[in-house]
Each structure stands twice: as structure tokens, then as C-alpha cells.
Amino acid sequence: MLTRFADEYLDALGGAGSAPAPVVSGRLSSFDGLLMEAVGLTVPVGTVCRVGGHGGHEIEAEAIGFRQGRTLLMNLGGPAPLLPQARVRPIGPPGEAEVGSALLGRVVDGAGKPIDGLGPIRGARKWPLAGRIQSPLDRGRVLEPLDVGVRAINGLLTLGQGQRVGIMAGSGVGKSVLLGMMVRAAKADVVVIGLIGERSREVADFLETKVAGEARARSVVVAVPANHSPVLRIRGALRATAIAEAFREEGKRVLLIMDSLTRVAHAGREIGLALGEPASARGYPPSAIAMLPNLIERAGTCARTGGSITAIYTVLADGDDGNDPVVDSARSILDGHIVLSRALAERGVYPAIDVGPSVSRVMTDVVGKPHQLAARTLRRHLATYEENRDLVLMGAYRAGADPAIDAAIAHHPAITEYIRQDADQVVTLDEAVTELTGVFGDG
């Protein structure tokens, strides 16, 4: 009887397919505070691993490359008392993000873990962190204007649904304030905000002042402050873009805010230099600059689903240098750029939009002829005034000597008032166009 029971039990175990799976693990061979090297571990790049430390403490790390038979990893968490030969074991496959309506109103970190104290996220779908390759012919044209509630942008730099635009400025000129104005007023089904590499204080401030009330319910925030690992900062940018892509696939109009693209490039620079890449363009290795088009090109309009991602990236011009490698690369890829001027900010003009070097490459496709002509007239008067500003201020210009300069001087107060706007004020697209054509519509 006992023998028959044992035989049946063993047969049942054999039929259940319970072959033992091998446990994959390696050992930590070196660690310099940023980069780890593990031996005896073969995993794909992007795999998340857990590294054991002294006293049972563990940290998570991501595989970022290989060198001479060793797997290179970078810390995803905080400090831990790591010891030589610590165990390294994979815990997750590379590259998937939680997406879908379950994330609306939530705040997550670079690893996708909720940090808003509202409990776990349930019912989310999966989407590749690196996105899905989209054929260029699946991209729809940008033909509909987007109302962002900022007079100068609506009137002079009109944006379109599905456009990618950069806000370029040095530090402390008002990029985040301008972003907040646009988030509150933008007409979009979903707003995805990536706060990447910025100050931790700004995260709470952005949530309480810029994404409060009704806007919070249709927003998803991915927050990875500056003190987090460079791998997490890049993952945060990829995650925010993946969340936006999934909503676009549902046919929704998505506004993607990334603050800031430069911090993502800085994270790529840290990783590239740690891997031994040569620093070519002002300290940036080639991989850090090459990463930007891969990220930016994922936004846009989808002709198949009818959804769109209108992406707004802030780009920090280090030292107010407009030829910084990140600024120059972003400007060549984006569909427009808004330049903020420190000189205007110092004169108390906010938002400090420098209309001259700013451009929207889709404006002619989304606005009518009277609007275009009025915007060109304003730009002409402003350019004439700026060229002769020193002469006028010194009193060296005599009125009546040049009709173009006389017209520029007469219109300059109206131009300044048109650009200036309070942070809590919303000016609709129709209002901005009416004001513009009313003053400058006669050519």
C-alpha cells in the first residue's frame, strides 16, 4: 500500500513538469562608488540585479555593459555596505514600464514605484521602456493648433498638436514657471510630466502649485531628483515617454513635459565616462548626445490611431551658451524652440521670451494668413528696435530720420506689453490672436 502511494506521488510530481530551474547569480569583484563589476553573471543589458551587502542590506543595480568577461552594473539605490565577493542575482527583465489609466493622478519614481503615499498601482498595462519603432509614414502631420494659455506663444510661436518644442535658457530665467503656466491651461486629454534631475524641493512645489486641482486628475508625474542614480534619471525620462506613448496608442491627445532634457544628457555623460568613453564635445561622450534623438523622436502624431504627443522639453544652456552641445543638438531635432532671455528677465519682463531667436516650425501649418502677417509685423518692429536700441537710448537717433525706426519705437511699448503676462493669468489662443491682429494686423 505504501509502495503504491509512493509510486503514484512520484509519478504525479514527474508529470507536473517540476524540473528545478537553475539559480543565476554572480559575485561582486569591484566597486568604485558608481560602477560595479560582477563575475560569473551573464544577463542582458538593462536587467535589474540585487547586490547583497553587509548585515543583510541589499541594493539594486542595473546591467549597463560588459568588459573583459565581466558584467558592468550601476547602482540604482542609495549607499549600502558592500563587501568584495557579495552575491549578485538578477531580479527583473530589462525594459518595461507600467502604463494606462491606472497611473492617472499618481506620482512614481524612475523605477515605477509610487511615491505619493496612495498605495500600490493596480491594473496597469506593460509597455517597452525603449518604445516601439514607428514607421515615418505612420506619423501624421501637425495641422491643429494647441492652446497653451501664454499670449506670446499663442500669438507669435503658435504650437501644434504633436509638435516637439524646447524651452531654452540659462539657470534661473523662468523655465519652470513658464512650464507651469502651460500645464495649467493646455487643452490635452492627459498630461505626463517628467521631473528629471531637478531639485527635490521643486517636485513638491510643482505638484502643489502647477498640477493642483482638476489638472492633477489627468496627470501622471515621474519624479527623479538630482540626487538619484544617473541610470534612474535616464529610466525616468524613458518611463515618462513610454507612458505618453501608451496613451497616444489609445487615441488620446497627450502633453508630455520633460524638465529637463539637459539633466538626462548629464546622466548619460556620467554613465558614458564611467564606461570609459572619450569625452568629445565639451565633456560629453558621443553616446550622451546620440541618446537625445532616440528620446525626442518618440513624440509626435500617430496617423493610425489619431492620438498625439505634444512634447515640451526644457533645455538648460550651461553658462547661457546657446551653442552648448545639448542645446545645439536639441535645436536641430525639435520642431521649434522658445528662447528665454536673461536680459528681459532682469528688466522685469516675464515670461522672458526672446521672440527674435525663437521659432515654431509648424506655425505656418496651423494658423491663418492674417495671423501670420501680424506676427511677422511685430517681429519686424522688434528686430528694428533691438538693432537700434543703443542709438535710441543714447539719444543719438533723431526722430523722422528713418520711418522704420520711428514705427519700431512707437510700437515697442505695445510689443513689451504683449509679451508680458502674470504667472497666474491665462490668455486663450483666440484672445491672443485678436490682440495681435488688432494692433499689428495693418502691416
The whole-angstrom separation of Cα 240 and Cα 247 is 11
The whole-angstrom separation of Cα 288 and Cα 267 is 8
Helices within 124-164 (DSSP H only)? 151-156
Does 21-90 carry CATH code 3.30.300.30? no
Helices within 299-387 (DSSP H only)? 325-333, 342-346, 363-366, 369-387
Per-residue pLDDT of the chain (443 residues; tens, 9 = 90+): 556 655 665 565 555 555 555 677 899 999 887 789 999 988 988 888 889 877 778 888 889 888 888 999 988 876 777 888 999 999 877 778 899 999 999 999 988 889 988 899 988 899 988 888 888 888 889 999 999 999 999 999 999 999 999 999 888 888 888 988 888 888 889 999 999 988 888 888 888 887 777 778 889 999 999 888 888 899 999 999 999 999 999 999 999 999 889 999 999 998 888 888 888 877 889 889 989 999 999 999 999 899 999 999 999 887 777 778 899 999 999 999 999 999 888 888 889 999 999 999 999 999 999 999 999 999 999 999 999 988 888 888 888 888 999 999 999 999 999 999 998 899 999 999 999 999 898 76
Does 371-440 carry CATH code 1.10.260.40? no
Query: Do the two domains 96-366 and 371-440 of this chain adopt the same fold?
Result: no
Q: What integer pLDDT is reported at residue 198 of this predicted model?
A: 82
Smallest CA-to-CA distance from 221 within 257, 178, 170 is with 257
Q: What integer pLDDT is reported at residue 68 of this predicted model?
A: 87
Cβ-based neighbour number of residue 227 at 10 Å: 9
Q: What integer pLDDT is reported at residue 6 of this predicted model?
A: 56
The whole-angstrom separation of Cα 390 and Cα 384 is 12
Angle between helices 261-274 and 286-296 (to 10 degrees): 140
Longest dimension (CA), the chain: 118
Q: Where are the domains of the chain?
A: 21-90, 96-366, 371-440
Instruction: Say how far residue 319 (Cα) sits from the centre of its chain.
Output: 21
C-alpha cell at 128: 517597452
The whole-angstrom separation of Cα 227 and Cα 335 is 31
Q: Among 3.40.50.720, 3.40.50.12240, 3.30.1280.10, 3.40.1710.10, what is the CATH number of 96-366?
A: 3.40.50.12240
What would the 3-class secondary structure string for 239-282 be? HHHHHHHHHHHCCCEEEEEEECHHHHHHHHHHHHHHCCCCCCEC
